[in-house]
Amino acid sequence: MRTDGFSGRITIVGAEDRHPYDRPPLSKKLLSGEWEPERISLRKPDDLALLNIEWVLGSPAASLDLEARTLALASGRTILFEGLIIATGSAARRLPNQPNWQGIHLLRTMDDALALRAAIEPSADGPSPKVVVIGAGFIGLEVAATARSRGCSVTVLEGAEAPMMRGLGVEMGRAASLVHGDNGVDMRLGVSVASFFESSKGRIGGVELSTGERIEADVVVVGVGAAPVTSWLEGSGLELRDGVVCDHFLNAGSPLVYAAGDVCRWTNDLYGRAMRVEHWTTASEQGAAAARNLLAEAAGEERVAYSAVPFFWSDQFTARIQFLGRAEGDEIVHVVVGSPAERGFVAVYERAGVLVAALGVSRPRQLMPFRSLIASRVSIEEALDFAASLNAPS
Ligand SMILES: Cc1cc2nc3c(=O)[nH]c(=O)nc-3n(C[C@H](O)[C@H](O)[C@H](O)COP(=O)(O)OP(=O)(O)OC[C@H]3O[C@@H](n4cnc5c(N)ncnc54)[C@H](O)[C@@H]3O)c2cc1C
């Protein structure tokens, strides 16, 4: 809003007692100990001061009254607003039978990451910690790679038939995760965790599978996805359906009220349907788009619809996985550059003869041109012709 010239009052209410920071390194360089917390601040203290914002941190918003235009905080304070941007993100899911024992971790916040980092610290004299990761999604696999790189023995337990299946589909989920086997991660697919057991009172000892098999662990990381944080908006009158439902301008159905990021379910015109995306690039683009549209609405000016090809990346060992678009899991997939055996490739996803998504593993230069092809909804033939030109000797 400041970049767009707004000089009025801005208040940021945050549940965490910290200024904003980048989450992707929480499972990567911050967890490995290569980076310290200061390195992932979104802005340096001097730059934050220049923004001239009132920070209300460590005090979550508890409810919203759209008629009175007020936000009630858990601390008891009430804030009057003219415009509101809802960006409460998502929170890590717990397993229904998950006990509150020492050694069981979730990963969403800096505090979570620092606690997990201490738990997987290699010990100078004893054996390295045994880590079990429940869930082979992106965050679970990044944790597995980081813990393994720090010398831990790592077992990943996944109910589905392939890792990263929800994002990449079965075949590509398998292909993109080969690097885990190369590095000695024990990947157990199609298994289900029935219960947890203790090593001593209140301390994790491991997990028991539905087959009765017991797997010992000093550390268990539950990486079973995230859910949008909307409970505080119940009863506010905003439509909530796996996120805050928004139109293509990111407006949440009330004048000057917008949503952005993981919490936002909006109509993406490029796909002609509503979607919610839990990726860093979408969150940062939507933050800017929501701010701009709020200011435009207040000034009675034209707003701009936010539509984009979703993009995310994930770093696991030496593999940089990058994905453009959306896959539902039943697309036809063509590997067009390199091969899974080389641990470097690009694959394109076809639905009804149209290019809908593309995956790159450690091939960023060859992957990125597919973004504009996906946005233009080119036919798969056109995409394959383009890919052939990438492979042609120059
Ligand atoms: C460990 C990890 C690794 C990731 N790695 C990648 C990656 O490699 N690539 C990628 O594309 N994406 C990655 N992501 C996803 C990416 O970080 C998220 O998409 C992004 O953080 C979403 O931003 P957001 O602002 O919408 O929500 P968040 O980052 O979740 O921020 C929401 C904030 O709102 C606060 N809040 C919640 N409720 C309230 C309330 N009632 N009142 C006030 N404040 C509240 C929360 O405490 C939080 O600080 C990763 C996420 C995690 C957790």
Cα of 350 vs centre of ligand 1, distance in Å, is: 30
User: Tokens representing 383?
Assistant: 């995409």
pLDDT number for residue 337: 96
Residue 259: name the closest of 293, 216, 231 by CA. 293
Cα of 13 vs centre of ligand 1, distance in Å, is: 15
Cα of 92 vs centre of ligand 1, distance in Å, is: 10
For tokens 């599978």, what's the residue?
Answer: 209
pLDDT number for residue 236: 98
Between the CA of residue 112 and those of 104, 116, 119, 299, what are the distances in Å? 11, 6, 11, 41
Q: Which residues of the chain have pLDDT under 50?
A: none
Please write the tens of the pLDDT for every residue from 331-380.
Answer: 999 999 999 999 999 999 999 999 999 999 999 999 999 999 999 999 99
Cα of 367 vs centre of ligand 1, distance in Å, is: 26
pLDDT number for residue 127: 85
Question: Ligand 1 pocket, 371 CB below 6 A?
Answer: no
Question: Ligand 1 pocket, 27 CB below 6 A?
Answer: yes
Residue 351 host element (H or E): strand 344-351
Cα of 278 vs centre of ligand 1, distance in Å, is: 8
**What is the distance between the alpha carbons of residues 306 and 96, in angstroms, rounded to a whole number?**
36
**What is the distance between the alpha carbons of residues 86 and 7, in angstroms, rounded to a whole number?**
20
Given the CA of residue 13, which atom of ligand 1 is nearest to it?
43
Instruction: Decide if 54 contacts 11 (C-beta within 8 A).
Output: yes
The predicted model scores a pTM of 0.97
**What is the distance between the alpha carbons of residues 282 and 309, in angstroms, rounded to a whole number?**
9
Question: Ligand 1 pocket, 232 CB below 6 A?
Answer: yes
What are all long-range contacts of 165-169, with beta carbons under 8 Å and residues at least 24 apart?
A: 165/329, 166/137, 166/329, 167/137, 167/138, 167/312, 167/323, 167/327, 168/323, 168/327, 168/359, 169/327, 169/329, 169/330, 169/331, 169/333, 169/349
Q: What is the DSSP string of 195-227?
A: EEEEEETTEEEEEEETTS-EEE-SEEEE---EE
pLDDT number for residue 394: 57
pLDDT number for residue 238: 98
User: Tokens representing 298?
Assistant: 């207040």
Q: What is the DSSP string of 62-109?
A: EEEETTTTEEEETTS-EEE-SSEEE---EEEPPPTT----BTEE--SS
Ligand 1 pocket mutation, candidates 234, 280, 320, criterion most atoms within 8 A of CB: 280
Question: Ligand 1 pocket, 14 CB below 6 A?
Answer: yes
Cα of 23 vs centre of ligand 1, distance in Å, is: 6
Helix (H, G, I), strand (E, B) or coil at 49: helix
Given the CA of residue 61, which atom of ligand 1 is nearest to it?
42
pLDDT number for residue 158: 98
Between the CA of residue 314 and those of 10, 291, 317, 320, 360, what are the distances in Å? 33, 28, 10, 6, 11
Please write the tens of the pLDDT for every residue from 102-157.
Answer: 999 999 999 999 999 999 998 878 888 999 999 999 999 999 999 999 999 999 99
